[in-house]
Amino acid sequence: MNYERLFEDAVAEVRGENRYRVFADLERIAGEFPLARNHGTGPDRVVVWCSNDYLGQGQNPVVIEGAVSAVQRMGAGSGGTRNISGTHHLLVELEGELADLHDKPAALVFTSGYVSNSATLSTLAKLMKDCVIFSDALNHASMIDGIRQSGAEKQIFRHNDMVHLEALLQEQPRDRPKLIAFESVYSMDGDIAPIAEICDLADKYGAMTYLDEVHAVGLYGPRGGGVSQAEGVAHRLTVIEGTLAKAFGCLGGYITGSTALVDAVRSHASGFIFTTSLPPSVVGSALASVRYLKGHEELRQQHQERAQRLKTLLKEAGLPVMPSQTHIVPVLVGCPERARAMTGLLMLDHGIYVQPINYPTVPRGTERLRLTPSPMHNDALMDDLVSALVTVWQQVAREQPKAA
Ligand SMILES: *Cc1c(COP(=O)(O)O)cnc(C)c1O
């Protein structure tokens, strides 16, 4: 058996489809967000236009101080799993802060948002015998992974399609356990789920709800509790899940919900139990960030204003902005070769870093550039981006006529 050959073939397949991933070797510069040092080819300094650190919180001095003071007081590592010496006090405080953020009785922190989704969904579905899960067609890989791991029956409803969801719910016996899993802000299109309508259906058919607010926490709602908070429906959801790694600018994931549900996940989820807890530096920074964003509504408003302005500028320049209701600004390219050619030119000629988004993150034929303006992307940076995009768009159209 030629094992090396096997791996080479696996990579060749990805290359053949023009979706081989090349990572940008960057070094973010604290205090100069969204600038970064570039260790790859191209200019030494580049402007990052595709970060999920949506508000630049990763470099907020208050957040940095949260990490520095924690590491100095408590050291680098947590020293264990949550059960065996790894529940340091900052984690307890963070869970209290997160439960409060979503007005839920309890919260549980995981090492990432991915783990929080996969561990919680797989555990909940295993705990409910003969459970059936209704999953939005565009749900994130981490939710799909959890649902798969649970072994429960899965029904996929068309993205945000309430008629389809209701039809699927209707087919099931009334007393069968049901869980509806969905997101508030869908990260690649920037659209929003009809949360209240999904809750109505859940009430009507006796289902639990599981909402991933990863791309909304810190960004929506008067205290940053997400779209469910902005719309006043947080109390109707069984579980609200979020990340500390995007708008909060740090690392980690969490769920919030009832005391009994959170205790059950804490007691049964392998992905929670059998891994070392997050270290003091990370938890200290996340705690500072969550607290900070609870009280800084003006950052959320600036963020929305920036996104709106960028959409307007791109449209005025005739670029194909996809319809997004949120801070996410996707520009449709529709072909992996062209998307890669464009982002290559943006980096080399203009010092602008945008990662092309390809299959399997988005469906084939909908390859795109996903722009994420922050409050720190000022008018000058925006004007540079739009004029660079117009230039590379024309260049690539000339050099690579659209493949059939
Ligand atoms: C990024 C993401 C996650 C995973 O969160 P991490 O903290 O990065 O692991 C979960 N759900 C959605 C929708 C995401 O985009």
Locate the ligand 1 atom nearest the alpha carbon of residue 117 and give its number.
Answer: 10
Does residue 314 carry a pLDDT above 90? yes
Counting ligand 1 atoms within 8 A of each CB, the residue from 140, 183, 186, 211 with the most, and so the one to mutate, is 140
Does residue 352 carry a pLDDT above 90? yes
Largest CA distance in the chain: 61
Rounded mean pLDDT of 312-328? 97
The rounded percent of the chain whose pLDDT value lies above 70 is 99
Distance 214 CA to ligand 1 centre (A): 6
Decide if 204 is catalytic.
Answer: no
- 3-state SS, residue 211: strand
Does residue 82 carry a pLDDT above 60? yes
> Which residue ranges have their beta carbon within 6 Å of ligand 1?
112-114, 117, 140, 142, 183, 187, 212, 214-215, 243, 245, 253
Q: How many CB atoms lie within 10 A of CB 215?
A: 30
Distance 217 CA to ligand 1 centre (A): 11
* Nearest-angstrom CA–CA distance, 222 and 229: 7
What's the pLDDT band for 401 if we cut at 50, 70, 90? low
Does residue 399 carry a pLDDT above 90? no
Dihedral of alpha carbons 100, 117, 108, 200, sign:
positive
**Residues 126, 129, 204, 246: which is the catalytic one?**
246
What pLDDT does residue 37 have?
Answer: 98
Predicted structure pTM score: 0.97
Distance 33 CA to ligand 1 centre (A): 22
Mean pLDDT over the full length of the chain = 97
Q: What is the pLDDT of residues 138-191, one digit of tens each?
A: 999 999 999 999 999 999 999 999 999 999 999 999 999 999 999 999 999 999
Tokens 């070769």, located at residue: 337
What's the pLDDT band for 402 if we cut at 50, 70, 90? low
What pLDDT does residue 404 have?
Answer: 38
